[in-house]
Structure 1
């Protein structure tokens, strides 16, 4: 016997129209009622005909995901599987499937997004990065298609809905943490200058140095790919300085792993010779050797909140701008940055 909307309505003690609105994820229905109706649907084994409803509503019940580069390469960084977990959790709760771009170059990614939009393959798009002069964001703004950016957009951020960490504040805090441990020669390793996350974390780093009365030295700033080999190459360059840094702020945990392994290969001790702090606090941070001090940015929450914002846009037929969600962060202190010995302490130990 086929279960109908009327059966679900009777079981949940609501009107059939309410069940239809719950299926459509209408914002007019309270969360409590939605949960009761969905529980009845699950208990009765009712599965709405998504294809028929999509045709009627001109809805695809799909969300497009735009990666910063080829998915096969991007997904090697643990940040992206975790942000995708947050996205998929919220999407599943609301009956949405996911549709991912597969382009390698920026032009191919843009072409994929245009096909998504013009072919009505998705109801909205989540852009999983924020890059200067990005053609994808420009196109989505021009077409007024629902979209959300993970990361603070360049230019007029108030005109775009986005979800982010306060990366400027986080960069400032970790640099102050190293300064308070006694470090004065503090370097920074970031990704591309075209990425908002790099600029914000570097600016926070620079502010903390200036507040401490330490000049910002370009020789202590390196740029690299968000991969272990990027971190390895960058730290080798930094150690070529006549006065090499005693501490390094690294903009990504994967890069930091490359930094740590390279320092070890060079016979340097962490944190005795060089302290290391990083961002994202992915699972590898806790299991590195030594365990990595890292900023917990709640990557899952970034994906979950971005999807929530996008579904709100789609459901309310609202314009794709005007909302900002900042996900809280905090520093997880581990063994990769310890107390730096003062000259006086070193002298006492050498004489004992």
Structure 2
């Protein structure tokens, strides 16, 4: 015979409604009470019927996770896999599901978003990116539909739920770390310059140089698309200078991986000829040769926190939009050395 919610309530010493609210991770129930209820559920082998409760509340209990529109490397970037892992774990804990939403064009993405909104298949969205003048954000705002962002919003900041790192400080810390090793000519190598986090890390880079009285050289701040298919020529030229750069900051681990390959082809050794630090600290950074020193931005935690915030706001819609900053740290490996 199936265990009932009343039996769980009796064992936990609470009301059946408290058990029901615990199953949906209602913030009005204390963590102490939730733990007591969950212990009783586990002891009795009770499994909540989320599908039945969804019919009563008319909620889908599903979060739509929006990926960037068809960009190179999006589906190979372990950053997104680790973030989605965090989102999924939080959703599982709260009795929610998540579904991935993407598109090869703005029109395709809008069609999918509108379709799931009209069908009631999602209660809210999480955007795994933030960029200036984002038509998706403007569209969701116009629909008055709940959403949260990983990254600092370029618009509607005061009313947007978001989870981010302090990317200005992260960029500054990466640069200061290299300066502490004796490096003064440092390349800042990036892509997706329209993204807010890229501009913030760049500001941090410039700020650290200023703090150490090192002149900012715009020629050392290079966007990947500016040298695409000319990488060999660019690095040959820059390393033929009388005083070449001695370090590189790569905007993420995928970019760093591509740089390693390019530099290896030119017989430029890491770290003997040039030191390298990157952001993200995904699994691949420890598998490269040499393993990459990284700024760990806690990808999993970004995902977990953004899911937790959107779910809290879905359960209590009148609360103010929260802004969460996830801390970062530098993980030292073998791609950097003292000058």
Q: Quick check: 1:238–1:245 contact (8 Å CA) kept in 2?
A: no
Q: How far 1:46 moved relative to its partner? A: 2.7
Partner of 1:157: 157
- Deviations for 1:301-328, whole angstroms, at most 9, x for unmatched residues? 1001101111110111236x63211111
Q: Quick check: 2:167–2:201 contact (8 Å CA) kept in 1?
A: yes
Partner of 2:16: 16
Taking the TM superposition and a 5 Å limit, the aligned residue runs for 1:48-87 are 48-70=48-70, 73-87=73-87
Quick one: which of 232, 237, 240 aligns to 1:240? 237
Partner of 2:105: 105
Partner of 2:271: 271
CA distance in 1, matches of 2:72, 2:92: 23
Q: What SS does the corresponding residue of 1:199 show, helix, strand or coil?
A: helix
Q: How far 1:73 moved relative to its partner? A: 4.8
Partner of 1:343: none
Query: Are 1:313 and 2:313 an aligned pair?
Result: yes
Partner of 1:289: 289
Q: How far 1:156 moved relative to its partner? A: 4.5
Query: Are 1:121 and 2:121 an aligned pair?
Result: yes
Structure 2, unpaired ranges of 5+:
none
Query: Are 1:329 and 2:328 an aligned pair?
Result: yes
Partner of 2:167: 167
Q: What SS does the corresponding residue of 2:277 show, helix, strand or coil?
A: strand
Q: What SS does the corresponding residue of 2:199 show, helix, strand or coil?
A: helix
Q: What SS does the corresponding residue of 1:74 show, helix, strand or coil?
A: coil
CA distance in 2, matches of 1:24, 1:48: 9
Partner of 1:32: 32
Q: Which moved more, 1:133-142 or 1:92-101?
A: 133-142
Q: How far 1:209 moved relative to its partner? A: 1.8
CA RMSD of aligned residues (A): 2.2
The alignment covers a number of residue pairs equal to: 335
Q: Quick check: 1:239–1:245 contact (8 Å CA) kept in 2?
A: no
Q: What SS does the corresponding residue of 2:99 show, helix, strand or coil?
A: strand
| Misfit runs of 4+, over 6 Å | none
Q: What SS does the corresponding residue of 2:237 show, helix, strand or coil?
A: coil
Q: 1:129 to 1:234 in 2, by over 3 A?
A: farther
Partner of 1:349: none
Q: Quick check: 1:71–1:102 contact (8 Å CA) kept in 2?
A: no
CA distance in 1, matches of 2:9, 2:221: 62
Q: How far 1:3 moved relative to its partner? A: 2.2
Q: How far 1:57 moved relative to its partner? A: 0.8
- Deviations for 1:181-231, whole angstroms, at most 9, x for unmatched residues? 222221111121111111111111112222333332232122237xxx97x
- Deviations for 1:162-187, whole angstroms, at most 9, x for unmatched residues? 10111111111111222222222211
Q: How far 1:116 moved relative to its partner? A: 2.3
CA distance in 1, matches of 2:128, 2:105: 15
CA distance in 2, matches of 1:233, 1:82: 32
CA distance in 2, matches of 1:71, 1:4: 48
CA distance in 1, matches of 2:29, 2:230: 54
Q: Quick check: 1:236–1:262 contact (8 Å CA) kept in 2?
A: no
- Deviations for 1:39-72, whole angstroms, at most 9, x for unmatched residues? 3233333333322321221111111100113499
Q: Quick check: 2:152–2:196 contact (8 Å CA) kept in 1?
A: yes
Taking the TM superposition and a 5 Å limit, the aligned residue runs for 1:331-346 are 331-340=330-339
Q: How far 1:234 moved relative to its partner? A: 5.0
Q: TM-score, with normalisation over the residues of structure 1? A: 0.88
Partner of 1:254: 254
Taking the TM superposition and a 5 Å limit, the aligned residue runs for 1:203-222 are 203-222=203-222
Structure 1, unpaired ranges of 5+:
341-352
Q: 1:112 to 1:300 in 2, by over 3 A?
A: same
